[in-house]
Structure 1
Amino acid sequence: MYYSRLRMLGVVGILLISALLCLPNFIKSPSPSLPWHQVHLGLDLRGGSYLLLQLDTKSLQHDRLQALEAETRRDLLNAHLGFLDMTRDDDNASLSFQPRAESEHLADRHVLDNIASATPGELTVTEQDGRLILTLQHDAMKARAREAVSRSIEIVRRRIDSTGALDPTIAREGDDRIILELPGISDPERIKNLLGTTARMTFHLVGPNPTQQTPGTTLLPMQDGKTSLAVQDQVEVDGANLSDAAATRSEGRWAVSLKFDSKGAEDFARITTANVGKLFAIVLDNRILTAPVINSPITAGSGEITGNFTARSASDLALLLRAGALPAPLAVIEQRSIGPSLGAASIRAGMISLAVGFVLVVVFMFLFYARFGWYADIALFANLVLILAILSLFGATLTLPGMAGILLTLGMAVDANILINERIREEVKRGRKPLQALQSGFERATGTIIDSNATAFLAHVMLFVFGTGAVRNFALTITIGIVTTLFTTLIFSRLLIVRWYAHTRPKELPV
């Protein structure tokens, strides 16, 4: 029951710092240079858009098998092993060779086994009806899909941040889904357009016959959708080697300027030097943006895309290219929009529930425990300040379930004070002197309070770790509330009682 001057200053200092951390939520920042951390309102309080995105794993598998097919073709040709044909479906690629001696056939198989061993656990080679079959392994593709979702989350975050959206929530759900919450954005169409674009840019030479598909070429539509060109399957320059992209004005029209890294600049210079006079197609998501003639070698490591761009479309394309290409397309499978009026109503309802709950608790504690009830109420208010301060310090997002968690924290905090006051009351009834009753009451209640809060803390940590969305926000506020409850109940409320006792030295305790 003894508090040194340093200990008292420490408790008061924590509360004053907490009060200062709460200020940014109620007043505007006096200077942009000041760290002004605030609690951000979630989608259900502020209004905005909710999108549930799903990664197209079939496309991911198709692209991977296509890449393996191209590698196999190259390796077989490098080994001087010709083959009759190669076919591919969603899960397998198969090829057959001309009839040859058994030793040559074993050499074919040996080359393919070497190809499979280069990607351990991902590709197997089997023989069926005279054909060699390359099969993608299911577990390897699941691991690749999980990795693709993680990459997609980072790319989505870069794209969203570039639009200026404030406080977005981007999280994984399951193996192939991403949750996107955008507070304050009531029209998600532009966001959907940005996220629905894979933004994989590649550069190809146009085939010998630009209007007819031949072996080794693919007929792709132009941007206007009216004409098509046959471009070579070989990727000459990959958009992954872009280092920067920006919307710009060129000859009175909007364009997108490109800048390559060292490898991209080297590839670009090599291709344009060797193919002067040929058509060079710029392909974005299997659609040709433009196919200019290479008039002269381009060695500066930069280029420009022109077309029927507006200021918005040029900016959006530059944004997509800067953010990087998605490993596979994302489909919007669920969408919700919450208007700001509904968000305001939610805030009002949440604040009313918090205020009513707080007032009822204050009245209850005063009626049952008189002066000690008032001290519990003061500690309860300090608890609210501490919770808000911690949420503000980390810029946390508050949702309706989070407000429910704060309200539940008030009940848990009062429960701890009730335990202490009842213990003190029991000691008074046993005839103990005031100081002894206070000392024994706090000591006997402390163990129970710590045990009950520790179990609740562990349960809500598990909720936060394994939950998603609203459940995590609820668990976060409860977890923070448990820590602040232990501080305000076992340290701050005890300090108030100790200071009162030191000044008054009562003969009886008012419990």
Structure 2
Amino acid sequence: MRSGKVTYRLVVLLLAVLFGVFFSAPSFLQTQNGSKINLGLDLQGGLYMLLGVETEVAIESKIKSIAASINYYTKKEDILIDKLKFKQDVIEFNLIDPDESVKLEKMLSEIQGLVIDKRDLSYHITLSDEEKQSTIQYAIDQAVETIRNRLDQFGLAEPTVAKQGEDKILVELPGIKTQEDEQRARELIAKAAHLQLMAVDDKRQDQAHTMSDVQVQAYGNIIYSDVKNEEIKYMLKAIPVLDGSMLTDARVAFSQQNNQPIINFSLNSEGARIFGDFTGANVGKRLAIVLDGKVYSAPVINERIGGGSGQISGGFSVQEAHDVAIALRSGALLAPVKMLEKRSIGPSLGAESIEKSMNALAFAAAMIVVFMLLYYGISGVFANVALIANVIILVAIMALFGATLTLPGMAGIVLTIGMAVDANVVINERIRELLRDGASLRQSVQKGYENAMSAIVDANITTLITVIALYAYGTGPVKGFAVTMSIGILVSMLTAILGTHGFFDYFMEKIERSGKTGFWFGYKRD
């Protein structure tokens, strides 16, 4: 082998380093362009929240939705029922014509999880215990996904939204620095965004201010206030015509009359059919557009409205309309969320954390570099070069995938540096053993790598299994630690094993000519 021979090992390392320099530069230099590592909550400051889910409301929403389906189906099929009403987790109604019972019960049998108590022509419907539990679980999972979707559309970089325990949700919002941003994010998270189209009871509208709650419920009605004026009350049919579960899109637009922001919404095919049928059968009557228990408008139906679209106007500001549209697009929360714990982490604390972490990283790296140089000579220099390449490539990969770096993640980088050097320590010790046994320099290097390989691979695989388990079952910071560790382990296999072997290949003839084992390996052979 001639001096300066470039093998595939060295070529692979050089290409990997070029890749690392190119993709890590935006993160190190903080340039405007290029993919960069996102800093976590503990490094750049932000908002930490622990939310609770009011799961009992999810049961009530489910019951209300089923009641709306029964109301629509019976009217469509001309099945006469009387006194259809719901209260918390119970639906009650009377069937007028007993001959229609078979058709009605066929429809009810297609709805999963119902417990039907029929007494003559009176129906008493509740959810089974299994369906209630399933509804609660779905409400929690749906809340996690809905909040995550809202925050993604809000424009925050790498928000963390994860289920914690049985019925709690952890939310971390890095980059929230002002009270205005914090308030806006909290309102967006907590907004139920429950859209309902509800019929106005024009016969009893005049009694909206005088009728008692018991009387209102007896008529199967509910009273909601106007969004602009709490003094204005609307007497509405409690069972909605349709709700936001049938909504497919919501966009901000501007009214042609006054140029004020409005929200145009679209319904799916089922919602469009129900909307068209209702408006066609109720020309001259009023339909209220209700969002989170407030009436935004209650226009008179002048004609059948097809196409499955409508609009919400309520004196929005542009920002309010934008946030409401985000909430509607991402879906309504089946159950409201409440704040259990809130912590604001200032950017100064994040900057202090970065400084301390970088100092720890620099100190650890410096100590390792000095030790490897003094103890292993030039082979220690090879290990140090591979170490620097490891960090650069690790940062590049994390930046390329838009990963979030947290304090535990930085701890993972420090630990990765130690593990990468550990592989070279094992290799160098195997080479020294072979030199002590009288093997040639070339043979010592070749066999040293072969003998060390099994120990290094086994150690890295077992560690990789552990960090995969941490990622699968951990949350937030634990995942960040697992990500940096797993990437670091895989990169160290490239730099610490393949890369340093490439250096020995390149310098082997020079090593053999000099014969200075102390200079090259830190071990002077007699």
Equivalent in 5, 12, 15 of residue 14 of structure 2: 12
Matched, 1:258 2:264: yes
1:101 is aligned to: none
Equivalence map 1:153-172=2 (5 Å): 153-172=144-163
Deviation at 1:24, TM superposition (A): 1.6
2:211 is aligned to: none
Equivalence map 1:58-137=2 (5 Å): 58-69=56-67, 71=69, 88-90=87-89, 114=106, 117-120=109-112, 122-125=113-116, 134-137=125-128
SS at structure 2 position matched to 1:307:
coil
Contact 2:74–2:81 at 8 Å: present in 1 too?
yes
Report which stretch shifted further, 444-453 or 398-407: 444-453
2:11 counterpart letter in structure 1: L
2:231 is aligned to: 226
Contact 2:84–2:220 at 8 Å: present in 1 too?
no
Equivalent in 160, 184, 195 of residue 190 of structure 1: 184
* Distance (Å, rounded) in 1 between the aligned partners of 2:172 and 2:163: 12
Contact 1:255–1:304 at 8 Å: present in 2 too?
no
Contact 1:76–1:111 at 8 Å: present in 2 too?
no
* Distance (Å, rounded) in 2 between the aligned partners of 1:74 and 1:296: 19
Deviation at 1:123, TM superposition (A): 2.6
Matched, 1:445 2:456: no
Contact 2:64–2:86 at 8 Å: present in 1 too?
no
Contact 2:37–2:405 at 8 Å: present in 1 too?
yes
Report which stretch shifted further, 69-78 or 318-327: 69-78
In the TM superposition, what whole-angstrom CA distance separates every residue of 1:210-235 from its partner, at most 9, and x where no partner exists?
14436232122222222321112343
Matched, 1:378 2:373: no
Matched, 1:139 2:130: yes
2:425 counterpart letter in structure 1: I
1:454 is aligned to: 461
* Distance (Å, rounded) in 2 between the aligned partners of 1:168 and 1:199: 20
* Distance (Å, rounded) in 2 between the aligned partners of 1:114 and 1:359: 76
Q: 1:389 to 1:360 in 2, by over 3 A?
A: same
1:232 counterpart letter in structure 2: K
Contact 1:112–1:125 at 8 Å: present in 2 too?
no
Equivalence map 1:340-419=2 (5 Å): 340-419=347-426
Q: Which has the higher contact order (CA 8 A, sep 6+)?
A: 2
Deviation at 1:400, TM superposition (A): 0.4
2:498 is aligned to: 491
1:193 counterpart letter in structure 2: E
Matched, 1:217 2:221: yes
Contact 2:10–2:499 at 8 Å: present in 1 too?
no
1:39 is aligned to: 37
SS at structure 2 position matched to 1:335:
strand
1:243 is aligned to: 249
The unaligned stretches of length 5 or more in structure 2 are: 208-215
The unaligned stretches of length 5 or more in structure 1 are: 99-103
Matched, 1:51 2:43: no
Deviation at 1:468, TM superposition (A): 0.5
* Distance (Å, rounded) in 1 between the aligned partners of 2:308 and 2:474: 47
Report which stretch shifted further, 210-219 or 224-233: 210-219
SS at structure 1 position matched to 2:163:
strand
1:66 counterpart letter in structure 2: K
Contact 2:51–2:339 at 8 Å: present in 1 too?
yes
* Distance (Å, rounded) in 1 between the aligned partners of 2:517 and 2:312: 83
Report which stretch shifted further, 251-260 or 466-475: 251-260
Q: 1:448 to 1:6 in 2, by over 3 A?
A: closer
TM-score by length of 1: 0.86
SS at structure 1 position matched to 2:517:
coil
In the TM superposition, what whole-angstrom CA distance separates every residue of 1:487-507 from its partner, at most 9, and x where no partner exists?
112111111122222333143
* Distance (Å, rounded) in 1 between the aligned partners of 2:397 and 2:84: 65
Contact 1:268–1:301 at 8 Å: present in 2 too?
yes
* Distance (Å, rounded) in 2 between the aligned partners of 1:191 and 1:482: 37
Contact 1:69–1:93 at 8 Å: present in 2 too?
yes
* Distance (Å, rounded) in 1 between the aligned partners of 2:149 and 2:309: 23
2:191 counterpart letter in structure 1: T
SS at structure 1 position matched to 2:377:
helix
SS at structure 2 position matched to 1:181:
strand
Report which stretch shifted further, 69-78 or 450-459: 69-78
1:492 counterpart letter in structure 2: G
Deviation at 1:268, TM superposition (A): 4.5
* Distance (Å, rounded) in 2 between the aligned partners of 1:273 and 1:112: 24
* Distance (Å, rounded) in 2 between the aligned partners of 1:165 and 1:350: 24
SS at structure 1 position matched to 2:413:
helix
Alignment RMSD (CA, Å): 3.4
Contact 2:68–2:241 at 8 Å: present in 1 too?
no
Contact 2:7–2:505 at 8 Å: present in 1 too?
no
SS at structure 2 position matched to 1:435:
helix
Report which stretch shifted further, 317-326 or 267-276: 267-276
Q: 1:15 to 1:312 in 2, by over 3 A?
A: closer
2:212 is aligned to: none
SS at structure 2 position matched to 1:431:
coil
Contact 1:155–1:323 at 8 Å: present in 2 too?
yes
Deviation at 1:253, TM superposition (A): 6.0
Deviation at 1:359, TM superposition (A): 0.4
SS at structure 1 position matched to 2:447:
helix
1:137 counterpart letter in structure 2: S
Deviation at 1:388, TM superposition (A): 0.8
Deviation at 1:115, TM superposition (A): 5.8
Contact 2:8–2:502 at 8 Å: present in 1 too?
no
Deviation at 1:244, TM superposition (A): 3.1
Equivalent in 320, 333, 344 of residue 326 of structure 1: 333
1:39 counterpart letter in structure 2: I
Deviation at 1:471, TM superposition (A): 0.7
SS at structure 2 position matched to 1:309:
coil
TM-score by length of 2: 0.84
Matched, 1:507 2:511: no
Q: 1:310 to 1:13 in 2, by over 3 A?
A: closer
* Distance (Å, rounded) in 2 between the aligned partners of 1:340 and 1:142: 41
In the TM superposition, what whole-angstrom CA distance separates every residue of 1:191-242 from its partner, at most 9, and x where no partner exists?
1111211112122221021144362321222222223211123433544335
In the TM superposition, what whole-angstrom CA distance separates every residue of 1:219-277 from its partner, at most 9, and x where no partner exists?
22222222321112343354433533314255446341424347455554554454343
* Distance (Å, rounded) in 1 between the aligned partners of 2:84 and 2:302: 37
2:193 counterpart letter in structure 1: A
1:206 is aligned to: 200
Report which stretch shifted further, 408-417 or 285-294: 285-294
1:230 counterpart letter in structure 2: M
* Distance (Å, rounded) in 2 between the aligned partners of 1:82 and 1:236: 16
1:64 counterpart letter in structure 2: K
2:221 counterpart letter in structure 1: T
